[in-house]
Amino acid sequence: MNSDTALRRLARAVGLMLDWHDATGLRRETTPETLRRVLGALGLPVADDAQLHDSMAQWRIAHRVQPPLVTADPGLPVCLRLPPDRYRLTAEDGTSAEGRSQPAPGGASLLAPALPGYYQLETAGHRVTLAVAPEHGLRLADACPGGRAWGLAVQLYSLRRTGDGGFGDYTALADFAVGAAGQGADAIALSPVHAQFTAVPTRFSPYAPSSRLRLDIRHADAEMLLGELTPAFPPQLADEWSRLEALNLIDWPAATAARLARLRQIFDVFQAQAPASLRDSFSAFRAEGGAALERHARFEALQAVQLAHDPQKFHWRDWGAALRDPESPAVADFAAAHAEEVDWHAFLQWQADRGLAAAQRAAREAGARIGLVADLAIGVDGGGSDAWSRQDEFLQGVEVGAPPDIFNRRGQGWGITTYSPHGLRANGFAAFREMLGTAFRNAGGVRLDHVLGLRRLWLVPEGATPDQGCYLRFPLRDLLRLVALESARHQAVAIGEDLGTVPDGLRPQLERAGLAGMRVMWFEQTAQDFTPPQRWTQGAVAMTSTHDLPTVAGWWEGRDLAWREELGFTIPGLEETRAEERPKLWDAFCKSGVAEGPVPGPHEAARVADAAAAHIGRARCELALLPLEDAVAAVEQPNLPGTVEEHPNWRRRLAPPVERMFQDPAIEQRLRGLARARRAP
């Protein structure tokens, strides 16, 4: 076997795709150099024939090992890489059954239990977790019988409330949820609220977090925690609070510093004077969070100290060798010496959890049948808490991105990493399961960003350009079973962001597992016209737009085109295409019965926003979600992909404040139009 053939064989076995089809349908081949670089990042160096031989042997050995968790369908055979033997199967309620597995190719097989759940299997001297998934998770039709439900999608930071200190918090979210439910909304879909970097407030993209296992503590509001013991605002902090609150663009560094200063005041009083009941509640939260919470709190404290000594030591790989291992004695010694700081970061997580739980509770009590829909980012910053805490389960030396397409001819590198499919299997999918549990914990649903990543992800080696990457396959069947199982256990829906170049056959697989897709108005069109909403996919979510796309008002006015012109992102012919699409969109509104009359002018975007809200209301989809930007007819979009500093991404605040939002006549009219359209036959 020559080296190129062996290289391709190893790459294929590992899950690297040797060829793929681009956005135009053209077949592309992955270069040998890219295969070598990505294999090396996966821990399988292939720089020469000797390394290639050793890596192939290493892979064969790893592939023969029985993983600690196996997923299964109820009542169907489960294959094990173990010899046939007697076994004991124990359910979560403690009941058990015994039997004998049968010989099968590569090992043994047995029948999975008929009831979904997690089981402990003991056989042949091994202990294996058996995750038996239901046919599908909780579907939208299960959560909202009769269908035709609607809700709002909101960037949490964009909400305003009196006394918020410069950006939206969980208290504003609770008030917003109650107001939305009062209008008839069943769902409030959130931007991600994953943990960011407390010591680095300049990092605030919700899609590049430090941890998906913990929450963004900047949105915590602890003003009601201590009751009469709550300390007064120092005058200087009160002035800064008011200044930040008046801004239309969030000053993240200043607003984060102010929020943390206030939370630290409350923490100090909590430590000194909190009643036993509150202390017990905090202790219970820490006990429930276990080692994962402790590792995150330690990471936050460690990173703050490292950066204080050297601003270049953001990434944990730049720390001293002993501190790179979360289980090292050096890290334990650090935690003991900085116990109060570790307590402080655990306290912040407690407050965030309390706030998010209160918002979900308020939404459900106000009548929302789903309530909050959490958003799961596709990855994390490689220098963050998750990647440090679970190094065996994360990809190193690569970043997640996208291949070149008609909008990004150079491809995209997103500056984030994610789970290694092989690390997940070897560790019983522990991080993935914990991530799902965190997301479902305080929500009635979860949206999986870039759900295509459950099947494959584009990986770009460090130092390479995005067009020099390749696709890595993921264990789709296992991941879908775990999503369905966790969805059913939490009685919460799952939504998959299935936009972009969708691999053949993926959408039917998602639908069978109970994941609702997304149907965005801009993409529901042919070369001739926009697709009538009555023909959109029933088991999906209808939306006017997303955070990465123009708002309805901005699209109509051409604000996104102006930004592209200003930043040099112009695509030839786009302005002419827009001029042709405006009358087509208005015609679609007229045909769906939500508009009439001549095409509005460029400055009549509010009328178009009214019609767009009602238009998605007419969709056949089980759920319609209206972005808050379109509910208030905002012109600017939250994020402009491909920019960092050039566009004020993730910084825009919306008016009016939540206490007056649902009394605003224009907003109320728009939501009434959406609600009426959902009730229409």
- 483: in domain: no
* Residue 553 parent element (H or E): helix 552-557
On whether both 108 and 174 belong to a single domain, the answer is no
Higher pLDDT, 402 or 264: 264
- 286: in domain: no
pLDDT band for position 495 (50/70/90)? very high
| Amino acid making up residue 293 | L
Which residues sit opposite 336 in a β-bridge? none
Is there a contact between 628 and 602 (Cβ–Cβ < 8 Å)? Answer: no
- 259: in domain: no
Q: pLDDT digits over 82-123, tens only?
A: 999 999 999 999 999 999 999 999 999 999 999 999 999 999
Higher pLDDT, 372 or 412: 372
592: domain CATH number? Answer: 3.20.20.80
- 491: in domain: no
Overall average pLDDT of the 64-70 stretch: 95
On whether both 58 and 79 belong to a single domain, the answer is no
Name the pTM for this structure. Answer: 0.96
Is there a contact between 159 and 176 (Cβ–Cβ < 8 Å)? Answer: yes
681 pLDDT more than 80 = no
Classify residue 547 by its DSSP letter.
T
On whether both 49 and 84 belong to a single domain, the answer is no
Q: What is the pLDDT of residue 2?
A: 65
Q: What is the pLDDT of residue 407?
A: 64
Pick from 673, 674, 658, 681: which is nearest to 623 by CA? 674
Q: What is the pLDDT of residue 125?
A: 93
pLDDT band for position 159 (50/70/90)? very high
- 165: in domain: yes
Which residues sit opposite 72 in a β-bridge? 132
* Residue 153 parent element (H or E): strand 149-154
- 262: in domain: no
- 97: in domain: yes
Give the separation between CA 545 and CA 86, rounded to whole angstroms: 55
Give the separation between CA 363 and CA 260, rounded to whole angstroms: 27
Give the separation between CA 241 and CA 164, rounded to whole angstroms: 8
25 pLDDT more than 90 = no
On whether both 86 and 175 belong to a single domain, the answer is no
1 pLDDT more than 70 = no
On whether both 80 and 57 belong to a single domain, the answer is no
Where b means 16+ CB within 10 Å and e means fewer, 318-351 reads ebeeebbebeeeebeebbeebeebbbbbbbbbbb
On whether both 159 and 100 belong to a single domain, the answer is no
**Residues shown for the chain:** 681
Place of tokens 């459950």: 454
666 pLDDT more than 80 = yes
On whether both 36 and 172 belong to a single domain, the answer is no
Provide the pairing of β-strand 126-132 with 69-72. parallel
Q: What is the pLDDT of residue 147?
A: 87
Number of structural domains (the chain) is 3
- Of 45-59, 253-267, 461-475, which one has max mean pLDDT? 253-267
On whether both 166 and 47 belong to a single domain, the answer is no
End-to-end CA distance of the chain: 65
Pick from 609, 630, 625: which is nearest to 375 by CA? 625
On whether both 98 and 176 belong to a single domain, the answer is no
Instruction: Name residues whose C-beta falls within 8 Å of residue 158's C-beta, 6 or more positions apart in sequence.
Output: 168, 628, 638, 652, 653, 654
Give the separation between CA 569 and CA 663, rounded to whole angstroms: 39
On whether both 633 and 551 belong to a single domain, the answer is yes
Q: pLDDT digits over 249-295, tens only?
A: 999 999 999 999 999 999 999 999 999 999 999 999 999 999 999 99
On whether both 545 and 661 belong to a single domain, the answer is yes
Give the separation between CA 119 and CA 132, rounded to whole angstroms: 8
Q: What percent of the chain has pLDDT over 90?
A: 91
List the structure tokens of 492: 């919460």
Instruction: Name residues whose C-beta falls within 8 Å of residue 566's C-beta, 6 or more positions apart in sequence.
Output: none
C-beta contacts of 283-290 below 8 A and 24+ residues apart:
285/346, 285/349, 285/350, 285/353, 286/346, 286/350, 289/346, 289/349
Overall average pLDDT of the 519-539 stretch: 95
Please give the residue range of the domain that contains residue 620: 153-185+518-681
Packed helices 32-41 and 3-14: angle between N→C axes, nearest 10 degrees: 50
Q: What is the pLDDT of residue 213?
A: 96
476 pLDDT more than 80 = yes
